[in-house]
Structure 1
Amino acid sequence: EETTQVNKETTTTVVARETESQRPTASIVIGDGSGLVQIEFKGVGTASEAADILYSAGIIEDKLAFYTYMDISGYAVRIRDGEYSLKPGDSYETIARTITQSD
């Protein structure tokens, strides 16, 4: 995990985990004043990786509960690369729909 102080209000964190087939990363921007956290997923293919990143960003408080929700609800295999705006405390359904770009 690498943290860079951009200015007094914004912190960018890059989280990388190496797997056999890819290196998923996420850029996280916190503290723009809106209460939203900007997250960009690249190569994040599993609910476990997404849960780790969302937990690190302060979006979720329980990685296992989020992973379980993703798995049971059928979202676990539909995570998409992209830029997302999430708020700490968002429901698991809201987060899942956002990171899978589901309606």
Structure 2
Amino acid sequence: MKLKYYLRGAGIGIVATTLVFSIANAVSSANKRLVTGTEQTSTESSILAYTQKDTQAETIKQEEETTKEQTTVVQEETTTQEETTIGQETTAATEASEPETQGQPQTRAALYLPGDEVQIEIGSGYTATQVADMFLSAGIISDRDGFIGYMAASGNSTKMIAGTHIVKKNDSFENLANVITSR
């Protein structure tokens, strides 16, 4: 009879030990997630996040390529302008434009006016990043990232108006934003 009680006690001990280890494992893995900042997500959420990350990466890559193209065009136009004004009084420069390519907005160079004023052409659909790159290459601003940050913080990054605007070199971000967001 004593054997029967020993076996029952051993069985209860094994079940109790299994429960204790299961609880300890759950607590340990929860602590690891809190410490590392990662949480398990469902497969569907993971797939959606992965897809969105790829889409965002492609969008950023396209914007960078557009920005490089615009910067190159403005630099080429600036070089052309400098060549045409050698030996002459600099009162105006010729505008040159890049043909529209694969749905990208048309880019125009800055037209340097007497004094510190510059005429800029902002195309339809331009982003704050594209405008900041144009301003930087035209010598209107010296802090590209600061201008982009100001436009985003002030809510003006979506309020830019396409068309020709006259801005002053080294003007404040606030004044520049006011000029390109109003008629």
Give the TM-score taking structure 2 as reference length.
0.48
Q: Count residues in correspondence.
A: 100
Write the letter of the residue equivalent to 1:72: A
* Contact 1:59 1:87 (C-alpha < 8 Å) held by counterparts: yes
CA contact (8 A) 1:14 1:28 kept: no
Aligned residue among 105, 108, 112 for 1:23: 105
The structure having more radius of gyration, on CA atoms, is: 2
Q: Deviation above 6 Å: which 4+ runs of structure 1?
A: none
TM-score w.r.t. structure 1 length?
Answer: 0.80
Q: CA deviation at 1:86?
A: 0.8
Counterparts of 2:158 and 2:167, CA distance in 1: 20
- Hey, what's the Cα distance between the residues in 1 that align with 2:177 and 2:132? 10
* Alignment correspondent of 1:80: 161
Deviations 1:19-38 (A, max 9, x none): 874224133111x3232111
CA RMSD between the two structures = 2.4
Structure 2 residue 173 is matched with structure 1 residue 92 = yes
- Partner of residue 3, structure 2: none
**Amino acid across the alignment from 1:76:** S
Structure 1 runs not aligned, ≥5 long:
none
Separation (CA, whole Å) in 1 of partners of 2:153 and 2:172: 15
Distance across 2 between alignment mates of 1:19 and 1:69: 30
In 2: Cα distance, 1:28 partner to 1:96 partner: 17
Contiguous gaps of at least 5 residues in structure 2: 1-72
Percent identical among aligned pairs is 35
